[in-house]
Amino acid sequence: MNIKNAIIKSPGYVIVKIDNLKILDKLKNKFSKKLNLNVATNNFDDLRVKMTSMSKSEINNIMIKLLSFSEAAEMMFDAFKVQIKKLAGNEIFLQRRANTIFNIPGKNQRRQWPHYELMSGISPFTFVLWAPFHDLDDDGGIFYIDQKRSFRMIKKEHAKGLVNGPTILNMKFNEKPIKLKYGEAIIFNPFILHGNVNFNSKKARMACSIRFQSAKHPLMQKNSDFFKYKKIS
Ligand SMILES: [Fe+2]
């Protein structure tokens, strides 16, 4: 089965290898500089360790700093260009701002509750590409529920008139987060339930994600504030 079929039909997600690792290295360096935490930018592990001792308000400040990280989307695109073109053709809508996401180990830390991307108003034709900035050697990654099971749960809530409501949010998932290597990414469709768990580690987890779709498909709720049109040569 080709990767497009795996993403659209079953299981709904696929792991891909990066097309240009140097660009992801560059993105990581820019990200480190932006954080301005007095850690050598070539020592990403130190940065990850330092983040674990930060307070919630310091983390909030970092998130505000990252709002100006507008080059991240184009860099993610360049790093995974071949895969994106394979999946969405040479005319696409690309998310204007990539999401840079970090998760701190330990209990009582913020985490992504089980959700599916469609709830944020992207179209059913949008794919999400998520890449960690380092090997995932602990449980700091994300778990994914295959399409069949995700649909079953979505339909269960739909019958009660709910979208990503308490049935899904309170559900206990036993899935283990997928352990990706640096230079790998997961691409998944917007119906796939996913989330992350509280995890134990000496280091924070950092990752970047980008959304894209073929320009031949409608955007529906999202408009050009969120996506930009792009022709791929
Ligand atoms: Fe998500």
Question: Is the Cβ–Cβ distance between 205 and 141 less than 8 Å?
Answer: yes
Distance 195 CA to ligand 1 centre (A): 7
Kindly give the residue spans of alpha helices, DSSP state H, lying in 113-226.
147-159, 166-169
Pick from 193, 177, 197: nearest CA to 109: 197
Question: Is the Cβ–Cβ distance between 7 and 125 less than 8 Å?
Answer: no
- What is the per-residue pLDDT for 219? 94
Model pLDDT for residues 149-192, shown as the tens digit of each residue: 999 999 999 999 998 888 888 888 888 999 999 999 999 999 99
Distance 130 CA to ligand 1 centre (A): 9
CA 9, 15, 17, 19 torsion: positive or negative? positive
- What is the per-residue pLDDT for 62? 87
- What is the per-residue pLDDT for 66? 85
Distance 188 CA to ligand 1 centre (A): 10
Distance 144 CA to ligand 1 centre (A): 10
- Cα separation, 227 vs 96, whole angstroms: 5
Pick from 209, 182, 207: nearest CA to 103: 207
Pick from 133, 103, 108, 111: nearest CA to 197: 111
Report the b/e string of 158-196 with b at 16+ CB within 10 A: eeeeeebeeebeeeeeebebbebebbbbbbbbbbbbbbb
Distance 194 CA to ligand 1 centre (A): 6
Distance 44 CA to ligand 1 centre (A): 24
Q: Which two tokens stand for residue 77?
A: 């695109």
Pick from 93, 90, 165, 173: nearest CA to 127: 93
**Any idea what the Cα angle at residue 82 is, between residues 80 and 83, rounded to 5°?**
70
Pick from 40, 20, 16, 38: nearest CA to 29: 40
Model pLDDT for residues 57-105, shown as the tens digit of each residue: 888 888 888 888 889 999 999 999 999 999 999 999 999 999 998 899 9
Distance 193 CA to ligand 1 centre (A): 8
- Over 80: is that where the pLDDT of 110 sits? no
Full-model pTM:
0.94
Distance 115 CA to ligand 1 centre (A): 6
Distance 212 CA to ligand 1 centre (A): 14
